[in-house]
Structure 1
Amino acid sequence: MTEMLEQTERAYDNGHDRPLGGYLGILAAYGAGVAGAAAAAVLTKRRLPERVGVLDLALMAACTHKISRRLAKDPVMSPLRAPFTTYEGQGGPSEVREEPRGPMGELLACPFCLAQWAATAYAVGLVFAPRVTRLVGATMTAVAVSDWLQLGYAKLMKAAD
């Protein structure tokens, strides 16, 4: 199996560093987490929501955005990413720019990659603890809206000068 993966990696990467084995591990961890949550739901007789309403979807989207950006770019979260990334400098407003080291670094430094994990965690939360999940969603949505207002205010102040 390892030899086949190495051959596939060499054939695929075209001279670039594409660690397919590491990506496969991340995919396996995600799949195991989803399967574990599904098994726990069955064992505890939890029912899936009949539907996801518009307000839940809006909370989920804004919360997913904020949590994935916070995990991937927030300076305070740097200690969690440091074993897997290298600091490159200031990114956007109140954000850092980091170079990933390996597949885990790519996951942790990429808000687009983390969004799938955050949205899945939110969906699992709606099954097991909907009230707490909605409260967390509302809190992170308020933080996201506050960020957008801060950026808009700064832009307006700059335009006024």
Structure 2
Amino acid sequence: MVRRQGRPLPDRPEPWDVALTAVATFRLSRLLSKAPVTSPLRAPFTTFAGPQGPAELHEKPRTEGGRQTVGELVSCPFCMSVWIVSTLTAGQLLWPRATRTAMGALTALAGADALQLAYSRFADTTTFADKTT
């Protein structure tokens, strides 16, 4: 399909694209497999087991029927990463501008998450009384 669009396949991926893809894959896999906001999408295939880390849920695959296999996939960020990186790689070949824009947004989100966690850790170790003296 890439050849039909008149675009040659790259000889090798650019290092920047590999880094961008890695961070975007990490963030999207965590968002889809662990975030409370996407829990309704996983609910038919998983059961809630408790909180797991900041703003993440731990869910176990349901055991009835074929739901276990899908539950394993949708609750495991490592399993989800294989499908996400494949999709993002295809997107880079077929729709490079749109895909890089989306990956840039996901990478920025990962950076914002890291800053939020760092800020929370700093705020937990520093009290306001310490700052006013």
TM-score scaled to structure 1, two decimals?
0.71
Percent identical residues: 43
User: In 1, are the aligned partners of 2:3 and 2:9 still within 8 Å (CA)?
Assistant: no
Give the drift of 1:89.
1.8
SS of the equivalent of 1:83 reads coil
* RMSD between superposed Cα atoms in Å: 1.4
Consecutive unaligned residues of structure 2, counting only runs of 5 or more, are 63-67, 128-133
Please show how residues 1-161 of structure 1 align to structure 2 within 5 Å.
40-41=1-2, 44=5, 46-101=7-62, 102-161=68-127
TM-score scaled to structure 2, two decimals?
0.85
Query: What stretches of structure 1 move > 4 A for 4+ residues in a row?
Result: 42-46
Counterpart Cα distance in 1 of 2:89 and 2:100: 10
Give the drift of 1:50.
2.3
Deviations 1:7-52 (A, max 9, x none): xxxxxxxxxxxxxxxxxxxxxxxxxxxxxxxxx4455555322221
Consecutive unaligned residues of structure 1, counting only runs of 5 or more, are 1-39
